[in-house]
Amino acid sequence: MTHHVILRVVSKFLIPLIALFAFYVQFHGDYGPGGGFQAGVILAASVILYALIFGLEEAKKSIPPTWVRVGMALGVLLYGGTGVATWLLGGAFLDYDVLAHDAAHGQHHGILAVELGVLLAVSSVMVTIFYAFGSRQPDLTDEDW
């Protein structure tokens, strides 16, 4: 791991920025274009870039596949759980109005929780797909680059 110094240095600098941008897209989704889908893909892109530069094994060490699998389920559960919560509070499925004291705040809380679920699910699925395909190939040796 002594080659491509430039690649490694630049990506080390870029990866946190990409992740940060993902969160910007996520939370700015309330006010402008953005939201869980896009943010999830961007977040996954930062992990995938890391895996591309430092190798799949390194990436799997920092983000274990088990976490990612749990993340998938957790994302769906967060989305569905919001719906179940609205049921328990007496509304229809995913009727955010009942989540807070007034409808506007309820909608706000509801969409926040749901988009978080989407972020978690989408980014985990993307990383899982990459792991699944990546681990099918023998790792490139340093010289093959």
**Is residue 140 classed as helix, strand or coil in its secondary structure?**
coil
Which residues, other chains included, contact 91 with Cβ-Cβ below 8 Å and sequence gap of 6+? 97, 98
The piece of 6-14, 16-24, 55-63, 86-94 that touches other proteins (CB under 8 A) is: 86-94
Q: Contact at 8 Å (CB) between 75 and 26?
A: no
Does 93 help bind other proteins (rule: CB under 8 A)?
yes
Q: Looking at beta carbons only, is 60 or 97 nearer to other proteins? A: 97
Task: Using the structure block, give the residue that is written with the tokens 């972020």.
Answer: 119
Phi/psi at 14 (5° precision): -80, -35
The least CB distance from residue 98 to other proteins, in Å, is 8
Does 32 help bind other proteins (rule: CB under 8 A)?
yes
Task: Using the structure block, give the residue that is written with the tokens 């807070």.
Answer: 100
Q: Contact at 8 Å (CB) between 71 and 121?
A: yes
Q: Looking at beta carbons only, is 10 or 73 nearer to other proteins? A: 73
Phi/psi at 52 (5° precision): -65, -40
Counting residues that bind other proteins (by CB under 8 A) gives 31
Residue of the chain from 61, 73, 139, 142 that contacts other proteins (CB under 8 A) = 73
Question: What are the residues binding other proteins (CB under 8 A)?
Answer: 32, 37, 69-70, 72-73, 76-77, 80-81, 83-84, 87, 91-97, 102-105, 107-108, 122, 129, 132-133, 136
